């Protein structure tokens, strides 16, 4: 068995099935190529490491180069593990560990201080990540969730408000100006998110002082990111979202105390725990708290 980068993998056809087997996400080579060209976190990276045996794709670990903001205001790149998948025919052979070790080696060669990944406590791989030295990011664990059942209200037709990518970027920049961590985005990040099907532009809302990026093909709307400059704007955005969400609204990651209070005022149920976690592994001498302080930020749209 040999380990090569995704860029070296030929042909790449087996990758699509591997992704579907692992995540029910049939990511085709053509789709991934579009993402590589759009997303600065992938553009100059190996994209991932592949285990290949006798022409078979035995496993894959995806890697990203992710810019973050430190307490000093500097932009520092960290590693991101965006995918871990093993071909079922090659299970229980240590392929995951081999590829993860290769990813960590790549990050260390680039002198990245940390490696991040997003996972769930309910899956088998969680224990493997813990053995590898990953720990949960407690700041992310502290985020609450909110939901509201709408009791089959008759949905109104959403007004056709276009999403201005530049305006949304500026509103986001203002929102995270005093935050560290995943508070750095490329200017066309909305285009990247759209390519990844992270939100539905037909359900999303843009106002003068805020925006709501919403997903959900069904009649329950999932708020992926809601940014408002004040409580009234948050109320106005939720008025819009609720008006075309006949069965309910869910927000799984509330990163803003102001929005948290708005949800409570509107009668949303608040939950304080989730199976999903963000984990970090130290790759150098830097301590997480020293690097990011107590203002570390990561929202649902930053999950990779």
- Which pair of structure tokens corresponds to residue 193? 């998110």
Query: pLDDT tens digits, residue range 157-171?
Result: 665 568 999 999 999
**133 shares its domain with 205:** no
**150 shares its domain with 243:** yes
**137 shares its domain with 10:** yes
**122 shares its domain with 158:** no
Q: What are phi and psi of 229, to 5 degrees?
A: -75, -15
Residues 6+ apart with CB under 8 A from 235: 262, 265, 266
Q: Look at residue 287 in the predicted model and tell me its pLDDT.
A: 96
**266 shares its domain with 287:** no
**199 shares its domain with 177:** yes
In this structure, are residues 98 and 51 in contact, taking their beta carbons and an 8 Å threshold?
yes
Q: Look at residue 151 in the predicted model and tell me its pLDDT.
A: 82
Q: Look at residue 118 in the predicted model and tell me its pLDDT.
A: 98
**216 shares its domain with 174:** yes
**105 shares its domain with 161:** no
What three-state secondary structure class fits 277? strand
Total domain count, the chain = 2
CATH code at 172?
Answer: 3.40.630.30
Record the pTM. Answer: 0.94
Query: pLDDT tens digits, residue range 168-201?
Result: 999 999 999 999 999 999 999 999 999 999 999 9
In this structure, are residues 227 and 183 in contact, taking their beta carbons and an 8 Å threshold?
no
**248 shares its domain with 298:** no
**250 shares its domain with 280:** no
- Give, for all 304 residues of the chain, the pLDDT tens digit: 999 999 999 999 999 999 999 999 999 999 999 999 999 999 999 999 999 999 999 999 999 999 999 999 999 999 999 999 999 999 999 999 999 999 999 999 999 999 999 999 999 999 999 999 999 999 999 999 999 998 866 666 665 568 999 999 999 999 999 999 999 999 999 999 999 999 999 999 999 999 999 998 778 999 999 999 999 999 999 999 999 998 999 999 999 999 999 999 999 999 998 999 999 999 999 999 999 999 999 999 999 9
Of 253, 269, 291, 265, which Cα lies nearest the Cα of 118? 253
**135 shares its domain with 283:** yes
Count of alpha carbons within 13 Å of 265, Cβ hemisphere only? Answer: 12
**11 shares its domain with 127:** yes
Provide the domain limits for residue 96: 2-141+274-302
Q: What are phi and psi of 42, to 5 degrees?
A: -110, -25
């Amino acid at each position: 068995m040999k380990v090569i980068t995704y860029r070296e993998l030929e042909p790449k056809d087996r990758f699509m099935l591997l992704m579907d087997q692992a995540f029910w996400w049939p990511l085709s080579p053509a789709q991934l190529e579009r993402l590589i060209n759009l997303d600065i976190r992938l553009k100059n990276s190996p994209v991932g490491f592949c285990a290949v045996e006798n022409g078979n794709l035995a496993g894959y670990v995806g890697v990203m180069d992710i810019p973050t903001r430190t307490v000093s205001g500097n932009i520092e790149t960290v590693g991101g593990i965006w995918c871990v998948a093993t071909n079922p025919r090659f299970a229980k052979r240590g392929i995951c560990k081999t590829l993860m070790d290769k990813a960590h080696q790549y990050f260390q060669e680039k002198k990245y201080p940390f490696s991040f990944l997003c996972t769930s406590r309910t899956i088998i791989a969680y224990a493997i990540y813990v053995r590898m030295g990953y720990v949960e990011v407690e700041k992310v664990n502290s985020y609450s969730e909110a939901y509201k059942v709408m009791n089959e209200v008759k949905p109104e037709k959403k007004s056709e408000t276009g999403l201005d990518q530049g305006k949304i970027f500026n509103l986001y920049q203002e929102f995270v100006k005093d935050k560290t961590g995943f508070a750095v985005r490329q200017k066309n990040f909305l285009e990247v998110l759209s390519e990844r099907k992270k939100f539905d532009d037909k359900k999303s809302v843009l106002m003068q002082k805020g925006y709501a990026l919403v997903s959900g093909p069904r009649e329950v709307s999932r708020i992926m990111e809601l940014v408002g400059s004040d409580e009234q704007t948050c109320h106005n955005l939720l008025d819009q979202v609720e008006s075309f969400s006949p069965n309910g609204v869910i927000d799984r990651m509330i990163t803003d105390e102001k929005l948290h209070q708005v949800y409570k005022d509107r009668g949303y149920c608040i939950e304080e725990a989730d199976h999903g976690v963000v984990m970090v592994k130290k790759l150098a001498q830097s301590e997480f708290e020293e690097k990011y302080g107590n203002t570390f930020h990561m929202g649902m749209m930053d999950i990779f």
